[in-house]
Amino acid sequence: MRNSSDRPEFLALSAKVRAQARRFEATLVARGIDRLISAHSRRRALEGAARVAQRHLGRPLKGLEELYEREVLAAVLADDRPLDGSEGRVSAHTLRQRRVALRAYLRVIGLPGRTREEARAILDRGLGRGAGGRGYRRRDGPEVESDETGRT
């Protein structure tokens, strides 16, 4: 079993980020949006996105609101490398869970100093940038070019 000191720095989330993620989970349950098990899965996906952001930034996040900065969001949505450093790619399901958690956080918690419409526009731009070259099509935006096989 690996010792916690063997873990890469980006895997450790700050107390503030963990607290924000727990508040997100509790809010999902309290409002009846999700059952406890689903809310827990969304929280874990959000924490995974935070870890990917930390890997991209090379430093710990100050708060979950940093996930929604344009470059960070695009990197989080496009990064399909496993967090444990193993070879390969994470599944499409994992990437989808990450996108769903990021959208749900905006819907439920929001971003300080931003209206819901502004926050949604930020996420939609990030989704568009993250989709580039990934071979999938966004439902609510312009079509993204598919891979050379013609599949979307």
Please say if the pLDDT value at position 24 is more than 90. Answer: yes
The whole-number pLDDT of residue 8 equals 64
How far apart are alpha carbons 63 and 93 in whole angstroms?
25
Please say if the pLDDT value at position 139 is more than 80. Answer: no
The whole-number pLDDT of residue 149 equals 45
The whole-number pLDDT of residue 6 equals 52
Please say if the pLDDT value at position 4 is more than 80. Answer: no
How far apart are alpha carbons 51 and 14 in whole angstroms?
10
Please say if the pLDDT value at position 140 is more than 50. Answer: no
Pair 10, 55: CB distance under 8 Å: yes
List, for residues 52-107, the tens digit of each pLDDT value. 999 999 999 999 999 998 889 988 988 888 887 788 898 888 888 998 999 999 98
The whole-number pLDDT of residue 87 equals 83
pTM of the model: 0.76
Please say if the pLDDT value at position 132 is more than 60. Answer: no
The whole-number pLDDT of residue 112 equals 86
The whole-number pLDDT of residue 144 equals 38
How many CB atoms sit inside 10 A of residue 86's CB? 8
